[in-house]
Amino acid sequence: MSITKSLFGTMPDGRKVYNYTFIDGKGQSVTLSEYACAILEINVHGKDGKLYDVALGYDTLAEYLNDTRNFGAIIGRYANRIAGGKFTLNGVTYHLPQNNGVNTLHGGFHGFGKKLFESEQKDDCVIFTLHSPDLDEGFPGNLTLKETATFIDGTLRMSYEYTTDKDTPISITNHNYFNLNGHGQGSILRHYIRINASKYCKADEGLVALAPAVSVEGTPFDFTNGGNANSRLFSYSPEIIKARGGFDHCFVLDGHNPDAYAVGDVTGIKLEVRSDLPALQFYTGNSIGHGRGKGGAFYNNNDGFAMECGQFPNAINEPSFPDCVLRAGQTGHSFIEYKFSCQS
């Protein structure tokens, strides 16, 4: 296994941005950037022995600076939606940027997916560090986040550690868009999908997760025995209609190993997702739109999917959801792991 460091570009304020490419013993590779801790490339073997880049993205730093889709980015201080752009904690009401209608999405206009991280290589890993000041996008507390990234034998593991000097809600995830047939190779709706979740959260009109979670049994949201997304989109489910004709919902993980997996219908590339977090947002790229990606590819709606492990959306405003508050002086930990293999 090897790691190489390369210059990606320069921020508007003159700071240099570097990328790290991890290469495993089979010639597969992952590239991560100091900007947004973003996954830029994931090159893994298909059943034909060829390498396929299964991560949507861009070629240049300038494109990532202008990105509105969060391609590959780390998400924080709080992943997904917070209703009404506000919450009350310890008797204080905090107001956040309303960047998704009246709600706050993925930490606000300048969440962690718009930040430049510091980096340090140590042996077989790279440690990315961000210092988020008190009231950054409205969130309380000076928070320090460290992501330790490794890529060994086809497995990308992102381990997170975070500390704060004030109580603060936190939910860190990764927002990579996968196409297991290769980025730019069309729709993911015929991928085989399995999500080990017996419950999911319905959503309101702003796609904020609602309590209580309900059974997936007998609904298009039942992926416990696997299947593809394509046929389910024609169910006329009100939940699918309000999510712009696809999935953008919180699944309550049952604690299986793995939490979820997907298989490319053309390449046979298999992605297994593991985490110690309680929920997974399954998103079928319903709002990708039409635009140019890396290597001259064009992306359209449903050309990539995300499996975002994290805390429950809007948990800070919903007491029945698991506690999402990191207490002052405590150290929080979580991890997300993507394991790639191939099915013939």
Active site residues: 175, 308
CB 192 within 8 Å of CB 326: no
Within the chain, how many helices (H) and strands (E) appear? 2, 28
Name the residue among 252, 246, 248, 247 with its Cα closest to residue 311.
252
CB 67 within 8 Å of CB 39: no
How crowded is residue 218: how many other Cβ atoms within 10 Å of its Cβ? 7
- Strand 214-215 to strand 168-169: parallel, antiparallel, or no bridges (unpaired)? unpaired
Residues in a beta bridge with 161: 146, 333
The tokens describing 104, both together, are: 């706050």
Question: What is the spatial distance between Cα 247 and Cα 239, in angstroms, rounded to a whole number?
Answer: 8
Query: Which three-class secondary structure state does DSSP give residue 294?
Result: helix
How crowded is residue 323: how many other Cβ atoms within 10 Å of its Cβ? 12
